[in-house]
Amino acid sequence: MEKNKIIKSNKVDKMRVLIMEEEIEALLNGDLSKFTSFYEKTKRNVYYNIYAILKDYALSEDVLQETYVKFLENLPKLKKGQNALGYLYVISRNLALDTIRKRKNESQEEIYDHMLKQEESHLSNDILDLAERVLKKQEFEIVILHLVNEMPHKEIAKLMHRPLGTILWAYNNALKKLRKEVGLDE
């Protein structure tokens, strides 16, 4: 049963790669005119991947920009046929985690100012707020990646460097909590 799931998820990935094939080939050949189209097709997935870690709209925008700049700088390293979206996920996750590390060094005042700004821009997003509140950091990240970004559990495990079992465990726990909070539980 698990094997079937893996085969199915691989198909989804291949489809995503095919959709962007033209843009990626152009980018690999140094034709940056296709970047806008590539960005439009991938930005939401990459943005949610960052948001799942930072839980901050404005900061996630900064990291989103940094991610694509880094992606362009490292384009020569991308091989033909390699999953560009996967590559973006790895870059964006590392940059998001770096941002958390750097923020630890900021003064309390800076963090407070930032939180105020964030609150102002953060119009209550009901279930998203709820998920942020009731889920552990890792659970929230997994839920966003799987439910919103439709990333297979196996890929999430690879991205987060954790065994598949742990990811499944955390995902199921998160679903239980959300079901209860949203009122889907019997």
Partner 1 sequence: MNNEEKVLKDKLEQSINSYQIKTTAHQIMETYQQSQEEIKKPTYSYKRTFGILGFAALALAVIIIIPNFIPNESTSNDESHNISVPVTEKFASIISNRSKKGQTAFSLFSAVNVMSEIDLGSQTKAKFMSKSEFEQMTTHFDKSYDLVEMLFDESNSYEVKIETLDSLYEGQFQYKLTLQFDNNDYLFYSNMSFEEDDDEIETNLMGKLVIGENSYNTSINIEQEDDEQEIEFEVELDDNKILKIEQESEQEEIEYEYKFCELENSIEKTYYEKKLKMNLKSKNAPHCSLKIKSTSPDFEAEFSNIVFNENKVMTVEYSYNNSRGKFIVEQKDEGHRYYDQDNNFEKILKKIQ
Q: Which residues are at the interface with partner 1 (CB under 8 A)? A: 2-3, 32, 35-36, 39-40, 43-44, 47-48, 51, 53, 57, 61, 64-65, 68-69, 72-73, 97, 100-101, 123, 125-128, 131, 136-138, 141, 143-144, 147-148, 160-166, 168-169, 175, 178-179, 182, 184
Single-letter code of the amino acid located at 142: I
Cβ distance to partner 1 smaller for residue 21 or 129: 129
**Radius of gyration (C-alpha) of the chain in whole angstroms:** 18
Q: Which is nearer to partner 1, 5 or 81 (CB)?
A: 5
Of 16 and 27, nearer to partner 1 (C-beta) is: 27
Q: Which of 45, 47, 43, 51 is nearest to 137 (CA)?
A: 51
In angstroms, give the least distance from the CB of 51 to partner 1.
8
Q: How far is the CB of 21 from partner 1 (least distance, A)?
A: 19
Q: Which ranges of 20-56 does DSSP label H, i.e. alpha helix?
A: 21-28, 35-54
**C-alpha distances out from residue 3 to 8, 78, 83, 179, Å:** 9, 28, 21, 27
Minimum Å gap between C-beta 84 and partner 1 is 15
The angle, 0 to 180 degrees and rounded to 10, between the axes of the packed helices 84-103 and 2-19 is 100
| Total Cβ atoms within 10 A of residue 45 | 18
**Closest distance of CB 92 from partner 1, Å:** 12
